[in-house]
Amino acid sequence: MKALEGIKVLDFTHVQSGPTCTQLLAWFGADVIKVERPGVGDATRKQLVDVPGADSLYFTMLNHNKRSIEINSKDAAGKEVLTKLIETCDVLVENFAPGALDRMGFSWENIQKINPRIIVASVKGFGPGKYQDCKVYENVAQCAGGSASTTGFRDGIPMVTGAQIGDSGTGLHLCLGIVTALFQRERSGKGQKVLAAMQDGVLNLCRVKLRDQQRLERGPLTEYSQYGEGIEFDDAVPRAGNDSGGGQPGRILKCKGWEDDPNAYTYFITQAAVWEKVCDVIGKPEWKTDPDYATPKARLPHLNEIFGAIEDWTMTKTKFEVMDICNPLDIPVGPILSMKEIAEDEGLRKTGTIVEVDHPERGKYLTVGCPIKLSDSDVEVTRSPLLGEHTLEILSEVLGYGQDEIDRIVGSGAVGEAKAVAAE
């Protein structure tokens, strides 16, 4: 049995944020029915195409374990099918531009009339307020949520991160909102609206920077490198390069081979509890007792010198050797892994975090499997659906339409071209 078995999800999502959420629900066992515009589908199907004629990796990697039905939501017969889906489903998830669902005729009030138990979950760029009507993409959310202003180097421009904290991050937040609302519905019997705004999601992940903003009002941020460098703080949290986000100084340091390999680096944290071991490893035993280096506070003005000495040592080792030497000593380090190294990592494949999937149009490809492991709800990653692959199956099996009604609906053009059998 899967955790969310029996839960039906009307997946009205597109691009990345919403699909991330519904893919997780599908992995936890929900029946996720993805509604797509006839003949077009989710825009990502045809974005960043690498195999001509096949669904892109952008689409396939965000839409596993789902079924696809084509419905024109602006057509009368399409609205009829959607209304039946709303009647049948436990959750509707959408991430259209603000107001789009209302314009289709499916306002929260109307949806509640159709099915008072349904949970309507939305990703929007901003919560209620002056920006509520804006369309928002990943990097806009990273900028509006405080990530860009706090990422990068102090003397450089704001930076976005490679991790999709605005899209995938908000999808995760929404997913938690949905299962929480499902849990509440067990007692209340009622559905509710769930909103995850991308700005809020990014800010939630930047919580420590709002912490630092308030600390800054009381004095300099002593664990930031700029403090040790004697550079004054402004009135907003600065970009801190690769300084660690906690109270323990950390940096990215070169390892053996850095001249040719852009990822021959390690993250190294000079955690106070293991300072003496750090001194021994890097050949500076005298720093254990030297009053200028022996305590975390005394070390703050010397961080550049200290990390310089550590780097002199890490440059004599590969990033994996650094890991092998430091880990047994509880010195926190981490190799900078390239995507190539991650794709080839046997351990990640064993745990199902990296999965190979077969697809009828594109053949085998790698994807990120479910990152959350439940001991009693296994995840089997199955390929993403082709556009409209399950239209007929959903009309008959899920919605109970008879053949005459199916012919009428298909004939109206509201569900695209009928695909008689699921493609394999």
Ligand X SMILES: CC(C)(COP(=O)(O)OP(=O)(O)OC[C@H]1O[C@@H](n2cnc3c(N)ncnc32)[C@H](O)[C@@H]1OP(=O)(O)O)[C@@H](O)C(=O)NCCC(=O)NCCS
Binding residues for CoA: 16-17, 37, 95-97, 103, 135-138
- Smallest distance, Å, CB 123 to ligand X? 4
167 is catalytic: yes
Amino acid letter, residue 24: L
Phi and psi, residue 223, nearest 5° = -85, -5
| Ranges within 29-88 binding ligand X (CB under 6 A) | 35, 37, 71-74
- Kindly identify the residues of this chain, within the stretch 383-402, that bind ligand X according to CB under 6 A: none
Closest by Cα among 291, 299, 292, 290 to 271: 299
Among 13-21, 152-160, 176-184, 299-307, the segment contacting ligand X (CB under 6 A): 13-21
- Provide, rounded to whole angstroms, the least separation between the CB of residue 157 and ligand X: 23
- Residue 245 is inside which H or E element, if any? none
Question: Does 97 engage in binding with ligand X (CB under 6 A)?
Answer: yes
Cα 155 to Cα 145, 158, 224, 232, 239: the distances in Å are: 21, 9, 14, 13, 8
- Using the rule CB under 6 A, which residue among 124, 209, 319, 383 binds ligand X? 124
Report the C-alpha gap between 101 and 98 in whole angstroms.
8
Cα(239)–Cα(341) distance, integer angstroms: 28
- In the complex with ligand X, the residue whose CB is nearer, 29 or 125, is 125
Q: Which one among 28, 63, 125, 389 touches ligand X, defined by CB under 6 A?
A: 125
Instruction: State the nearest-atom distance from the C-beta of 95 to ligand X, in Å.
Output: 3
Considering only the stretches 111-119, 123-131, 284-292, 391-399, report the one whose residues sit in contact with ligand X under the rule CB under 6 A: 123-131
Nearer to ligand X, 35 or 274 (CB): 35
Give the separation between CA 300 and CA 289, rounded to whole angstroms.
16
Q: DSSP labels for 302-337?
A: GHHHHHHHHHHHHTTS-HHHHHHHHGGGT--EEE--
Q: What's the min distance (Å) between Cβ of 298 and ligand X? A: 47
Task: Write out the binding residues for ligand X, residues 150-189 only, by CB under 6 A.
Answer: 167
Pick the binder of ligand X from 2, 3, 79, 100 (CB under 6 A): 100
Residues 335-394 that bind ligand X (CB under 6 A): none
Give the burial class of 370: count Cβ atoms within 10 A of its Cβ; 0-12 exposed, 13-18 middle, 19 or more buried.
buried
Nearest to 352 by CA among 334, 376, 378: 378
Q: Find how far residue 176's CA is from the centre of its chain.
A: 13
Nearer to ligand X, 100 or 337 (CB): 100
CB 339, min distance to ligand X, A: 20
Cβ atoms within 10 A of the Cβ of 319, count? 26
Catalytic residue among 31, 90, 167, 243: 167
In whole angstroms, the minimum distance from the beta carbon of 261 to ligand X comes to 33
Among 7, 8, 11, 16, binds ligand X (CB under 6 A): 16
Residue number, 40 or 298, with CB nearest to ligand X: 40
Pick the piece of the chain touching ligand X (CB under 6 A) from 117-125, 308-316, 365-373, 393-401: 117-125
Distance between CA atoms of 1 and 288, rounded to whole angstroms?
56
Using Cβ positions, the residue closest to ligand X within the complex turns out to be 97
Give CA–CA dist 299/369, Å, rounded: 42
Q: Which region among 135-143, 278-286, 378-386, 397-405 touches ligand X (by CB under 6 A)?
A: 135-143
Decide: 342 and 275 in contact? Cβ < 8 Å: no
Contact by Cβ (8 Å): 121, 181: yes
The only residue of 4, 9, 10, 15 in contact with ligand X, by rule CB under 6 A: 15
Give the interface segment with ligand X, choosing from 120-128, 173-181, 253-261, 308-316 (CB under 6 A): 120-128
Residues touching ligand X: how many (CB under 6 A)? 23
> Given the complex with ligand X, which of 249 and 416 has the nearer CB atom?
416
The nearer residue to ligand X, 123 or 281, going by C-beta atoms, is: 123
Contact call for residues 393 and 421 (beta carbons, < 8 A): no
Cβ partners under 8 Å of residue 347, min gap 6: none
User: Distance between CA 383 and CA 23 in Å, rounded?
Assistant: 11
Q: Write the CB contacts of 389 (distance below 8 Å, at least 6 apart in sequence).
A: 67, 68, 419, 422, 423
Q: How far is the CB of 99 from ligand X (least distance, A)?
A: 7
Write out the catalytic residue numbers.
167
Footprint on this chain of ligand X (rule: CB under 6 A): 15-18, 35, 37, 71-74, 95-97, 100, 103-104, 123-125, 135-137, 167
